[in-house]
Amino acid sequence: MARINFQNRGGLVAGAGGGMGLAIANGLIEGGADIVLADIKPEPDGIAAGPGRALYLQGDLSDEDFVRDVVAQTQAHAGRFDYLVNTVGVWWGETDLSVVDIERQVWDRVFDINLGSMMLAARHAVPLMQANGGGAIVLISSIQALRGDPRAQDAYGVSKGAIRTLSKSLAVQFAGDNIRCNALLPGYVRTPMTHRFDDNSARSEAVRKLIPLTRFGEVADIAGPSLFLLSDAASFITGSELIVDGGTTALP
């Protein structure tokens, strides 16, 4: 049976300045992979010490020049390109409104970040994976890709739905190159972006009641499934979506 082992592998984790991305990157590094971590945020504390080697690059992952450079540096850093993980995303709750109310520049910028970063990283990473003989991609979507919301957050939700579709398209396009692509759909998870769940407010308690497991997810709950999807243990899984939401979407 295949085991999770990332030795002598390398890749890029986009959006690794904290939260889910940092946790996934650390799992790869601790598994022996040489990883480039990239984010618009400054380098965070807590990057794993090894045995894999880490390189942190700061910049805007919705900018194609930066993404092109990051992908090239990943190849140089690791000597190969096996993995692409993209966790980049923003949720602007105060300005991300219904399509009848949202400012167009907010809509466009959310799509530039949430979807554009996914497209750009794949555009430049896939050819290196093809040259490498294969690879694995994990794109972070959201359970908002599966449903509407009475509290409209249309740019976020629609962009996450598009990521789900992009993942399936990449899986089908490049299966013949031994490149797998899967989407992971988190539910309510505590990250720096979801700080609104960090208190014991009535709002947080109301959200917790929507989770059958009765707790918010933690970044480790996302890192574990992501590492599985990247690993050889998931070698026959592509074009799939893994819902990691504590049972939220199983409710009627």
Residue 116: both structure tokens together: 């554009």
Q: How far is 194 from 197, CA to CA, in rounded Å?
A: 6
| CATH number assigned to the domain with residue range 10-242, chosen from the 4 options 3.40.50.720, 3.40.50.1370, 3.40.1130.10, 3.30.70.120 | 3.40.50.720
Bridge-partner residues for 54, per DSSP? 35
| Domain positions in the chain | 10-242
Q: Is 188 a catalytic residue?
A: no
Q: How far is CA 207 from CA 149, 152, 188, 190, 198, in A?
A: 13, 16, 8, 12, 12
| Of 56, 83, 156, 188, catalytic | 156
Q: How far is 23 from 18, CA to CA, in rounded Å?
A: 7
Whose structure tokens read 């959201």?
A: 142
What is the chain's pLDDT, residue by residue, as a tens digit (252 residues)?
Answer: 455 789 999 999 999 999 999 999 999 999 999 999 999 999 999 999 999 999 999 999 999 999 999 999 999 999 999 999 999 999 998 899 999 999 999 999 999 999 999 999 999 999 999 999 999 999 999 999 999 887 889 999 999 999 999 999 999 999 999 999 999 999 999 987 665 555 666 777 888 888 999 999 999 999 999 999 999 999 999 999 999 999 999 998
Q: How far is 35 from 94, CA to CA, in rounded Å?
A: 34
Tell me if 40 sits within 8 A of 87, measured CB to CB. no
pLDDT of 148: 87
Tell me if 53 sits within 8 A of 33, measured CB to CB. no
pLDDT of 204: 79
